[in-house]
């Protein structure tokens, strides 16, 4: 039995998948998507996720999520969901592990600053950068640049994309022009990402003291689960109560997604991935759960992501990224030779600068900033 024989007809399968940009013989003991997952785990951008910010700066505490632990949580949730729906677990795992490879240091602020700096040169977007990492920037293989991943893995990584960029990218972005859906595995990974960050950002927010249980009790969904835990375990203490609540929250979201999507799939009965692409979204939360999840997201945005202490970090980080960009674009000779463009093409040079900065970990960016601007450190 091959590892993919239990999959539903609407799941992506190695045999009928759209393949790689550079042809390679099938591997004797691994499916195409197991192979993609392995390539991602072995690449250097993956290791750097360990030192990149999710919400809290990497050096603020050892207990907080980083981009790496976030990606592992997405993969774990995604695989459970995929197995329940008889979708391709290996593809979900590969996309989950790769989805944040293009993130800049310091989280979303790094992206926003680079996008602003690059506005006359095509902008900067982290999804697109994740694809660029696996298509081009990783350089480990003799026969090609990048990791030469399967079409379906690349499609899953490219979660969003502007129309202008879609026209430039070719087949992998055609769906943004045609307004069709990606595979069910891509749709699922997107929601596994949301389940993961909604729950772990509450956990990290509480641990940091920036948000409190009293505030969270205003969120109906959280309050319901919190009180369930208090009833089941009267007098249960701090961390234990939080963990018990968050495990229920993940379960509630996951169970709802499985039930809702199963019903949609039973109704639509897509017979192939092509039929999936041509229908509406089939992996979804119920309307009630969508409302709950949106309320939770809104709470986190207002109370955690915009907390004044997070703002301080954000403003400081944006200054570091902007000053690095300005210094490198004014004086490309400050760049390591691999990132200096010899062709005299300004667009190419600034793209290489964006690649260099986006590839940095938080601590590397801070160190590089000090090396360039500190007069004490010559």
- Residue number, 4 or 100, with CB nearest to Mg ion: 100
Question: What is the C-alpha separation between 3 and 271, in angstroms, rounded?
Answer: 20
Q: Which among 107-115, 172-180, 187-195, 266-274 is the span making contact with Mg ion, rule CB under 5 A?
A: 187-195
Residues 33-52 as x/- pattern, contact with Mg ion by CB under 5 A? --------------------
- Residue 66, φ and ψ in degrees, nearest 5: -115, 180
CB of 115 to Mg ion, least distance (A): 18
- Residue number, 257 or 352, with CB nearest to Mg ion: 257
CB of 194 to Mg ion, least distance (A): 9
Question: What is the C-alpha separation between 191 and 294, in angstroms, rounded?
Answer: 12
DSSP 60: G
- Residue number, 76 or 174, with CB nearest to Mg ion: 76
- Residue number, 126 or 314, with CB nearest to Mg ion: 126
Please list every residue from 74 through 133 that binds Mg ion, using CB under 5 A: 100
Residues 160-179 as x/- pattern, contact with Mg ion by CB under 5 A? --------------------
**Burial (CB count <10 Å: 0-12, 13-18, 19+), residue 376:** exposed
* Residue with the CB atom nearest Mg ion in the bound state: 193
- Residue number, 152 or 193, with CB nearest to Mg ion: 193
CB of 99 to Mg ion, least distance (A): 6
Sign of the torsion angle spanned by Cα atoms 23, 26, 32, 37: negative
The size of the interface with Mg ion (CB under 5 A), counted in residues, is 2
CB of 139 to Mg ion, least distance (A): 25
Please list every residue from 188 through 247 that binds Mg ion, using CB under 5 A: 193
Question: What is the C-alpha separation between 36 and 135, in angstroms, rounded?
Answer: 12
- Residue number, 73 or 135, with CB nearest to Mg ion: 73
Instruction: Give me the long-range contacts of 255-259 (CB less than 8 A, separation at least 24).
Output: 256/285, 256/286, 256/289, 257/81, 257/188, 257/191, 257/195, 257/283, 257/284, 257/285, 257/289, 258/81, 258/84, 258/85, 259/286
| Angle, vertex CA 320, rays to CA 319 and CA 324, nearest 5 | 115
- Residue number, 35 or 126, with CB nearest to Mg ion: 126
CB of 59 to Mg ion, least distance (A): 21
Identify the CA nearest to 37 among candidates 105, 134, 104.
Answer: 134
Give the torsion through C-alpha atoms of 300, 242, 290, 232, to 10 deg: -150
Q: Point out which residues pair with 53 in neighbouring strands.
A: 66
CB of 80 to Mg ion, least distance (A): 17
CB of 352 to Mg ion, least distance (A): 25
- Residue number, 13 or 58, with CB nearest to Mg ion: 58
CB of 103 to Mg ion, least distance (A): 8
Question: What is the C-alpha separation between 15 and 121, in angstroms, rounded?
Answer: 39
Please list every residue from 57 through 76 that binds Mg ion, using CB under 5 A: none
Interface residues with Mg ion (CB under 5 A) are 100, 193
């Amino acid at each position: 039995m091959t590892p993919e024989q239990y999959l539903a007809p609407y799941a992506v399968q190695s045999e009928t998948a759209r393949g790689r940009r550079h042809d390679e013989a099938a591997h004797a003991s691994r499916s195409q998507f197991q192979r993609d997952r392995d390539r991602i785990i072995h690449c250097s951008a993956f290791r750097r996720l360990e030192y990149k910010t999710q919400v809290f700066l990497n050096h603020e505490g050892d207990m907080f999520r980083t981009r790496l632990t976030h990606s592992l949580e997405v993969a774990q949730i995604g695989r459970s969901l995929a197995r329940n729906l008889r979708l391709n677990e290996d593809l979900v795992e590969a996309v989950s592990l790769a989805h944040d490879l293009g993130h800049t240091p310091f989280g979303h602020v790094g992206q926003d600053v680079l996008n602003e700096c690059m506005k006359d040169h095509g902008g900067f977007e982290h999804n697109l950068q994740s694809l660029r990492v696996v298509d081009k920037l990783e350089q480990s293989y003799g026969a090609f640049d990048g990791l030469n991943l399967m079409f379906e893995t690349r499609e899953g990584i490219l979660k969003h994309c502007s129309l202008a960029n879609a026209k430039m990218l070719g087949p992998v972005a055609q769906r943004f022009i045609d307004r069709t859906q990606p595979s069910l595995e891509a749709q699922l990974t997107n929601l596994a990402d949301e389940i993961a960050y909604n729950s772990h950002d509450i956990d990290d927010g509480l641990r940091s003291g920036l948000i409190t249980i009293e505030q969270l009790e205003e969120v109906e969904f959280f309050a319901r689960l919190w009180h369930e835990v208090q009833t089941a375990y009267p007098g249960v203490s701090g961390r234990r109560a939080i963990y018990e609540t968050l495990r229920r929250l993940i379960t509630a979201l996951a169970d709802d997604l499985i039930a809702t999507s199963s019903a949609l799939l039973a109704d639509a009965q897509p017979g192939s991935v092509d039929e999936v692409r041509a229908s509406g979204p089939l992996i979804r939360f119920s309307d009630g759960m969508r409302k709950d999840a949106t309320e939770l997201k809104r709470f986190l945005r207002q109370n955690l992501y915009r907390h004044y202490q997070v703002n301080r970090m954000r403003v400081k980080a944006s200054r570091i990224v902007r000053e690095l960009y300005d210094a490198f674009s004014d004086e490309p000779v400050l760049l390591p030779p691999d990132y200096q463009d010899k062709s005299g093409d300004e667009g190419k040079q600034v793209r290489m600068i964006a690649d260099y900065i986006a590839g940095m970990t938080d601590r590397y960016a801070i160190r590089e900033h000090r090396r360039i601007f500190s007069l004490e450190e010559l």
